[in-house]
Amino acid sequence: MSRLEIDELERKWLSVSLAMIGLFVGAIVVTAVSQGVHPPSHVETIDSASLHLSQEFAEDKLGVQPTPLADGSLQVRLVAGRYGFYPREIEVPAGRRIVFRMASMDVLHGAHIPMTNMSTMIVPGYVSEVVSVFPKPGEYPMLCNEYCGLGHDHMWSKVTVIAQENWREPATGGKQP
């Protein structure tokens, strides 16, 4: 037998299934192409053992950067390490594009600010870059959501989102509020 015998009902259901899947994938394609909505996928390597000697992730270079990027976004540099994201407290303005650049100094970590789309894995040997905009001012926890050792439960830091009118650019990188 060469030709498949497919029941009429099956044919209909197959069409419905394909249409449904096509709709889901289509929605993702449209947002990815027109809005540039992608998961954090910044393939950039770094030596996790010598972050303290690097231009970017040395202790005095961390935190909210004083000079905005060319497109007006603010850059935030964080080091993830057992058991916190350093600096432990940062302040960022609401409604502005924030570019987080993060690197691990030891093992795997994950950063997530609940109720927002700020989320990324932090893999030793790689720089994670993730962009988010926080519309609402308030205090947000940044939680480690990847098992990183027996102290994992305690790994979190504080992100304070400040209303735009109260926001002051920090004078130097690495300065903690």
Partner 1 sequence: MNDATVNRLTLFNFWVAFGAFGLACFFGMYQVLERSGLFTFLQSPAAYFASVSTHGVLMAFVLTTFFIMGFGYHTAARSLRRPLWNPPLAWAGYGVCVVGVALAAIPLLLGKASVLYTFYPPIQANVFFYLGATLLVVGSWFWCVIMLVMFAQWKRDRPGETVPLPMFATAANALLWLWTSAGVALESVFQLLPWALGLTDTIDVGLARTLFAWTLHPIVYFWLIPAYIALYCYVPQAAGGKLFSDVLARTAFVLILVLGLPIGFHHLYMDPEQGAGWKFLHMVGTFAVAIPTLLTGFTVIASLEMAGRKRGGAGLFGWIGALPWKNPMVLAAILSLLMLVLGGFGGIVNASYAMNAMVHNTAWVPGHFHLIFAGTVITMYLAVAYKLWPELCGRRLYSVDLALVQLWGWFIGMVIMTTPWHILGLLGQPRRISAVQYNSVLTLSWEPYELAMIAGGSILLASACLFVYLLYKTQTAGEKVDAREDAAADSNHGAPAWLNGFALWNRLILVLMVLSYGYPILQFFLLKTHSPTAWGY
**Residue numbers of the site for partner 1 (CB under 8 A)?**
1-2, 4-7, 9-10, 13-14, 17-18, 20-21, 24-25, 28, 31-32, 37-49, 106-108, 110, 112, 114-115, 117-129, 139, 141, 143-154, 156
At its nearest, how many Å lie between partner 1 and the CB of residue 122? 7
Cα–Cα distances (Å) from 94 to 31, 42, 97, 168, 175, in that order, read 23, 24, 9, 12, 19
**Using the 8-state DSSP alphabet, how is residue 126 labeled?**
B
Q: Cα angle at 170 between 116 and 91, to 5 degrees? A: 25
At its nearest, how many Å lie between partner 1 and the CB of residue 13? 5
The position carrying tokens 């600010």 is 113
At its nearest, how many Å lie between partner 1 and the CB of residue 175? 23
Q: In angstroms, rounded to a whole number, what is the distance separating the alpha carbons of residues 18 and 115?
A: 32
Q: Of the two residues 25 and 163, which places its CB atom closer to partner 1 in the complex?
A: 25
Q: Of the two residues 48 and 75, which places its CB atom closer to partner 1 in the complex?
A: 48
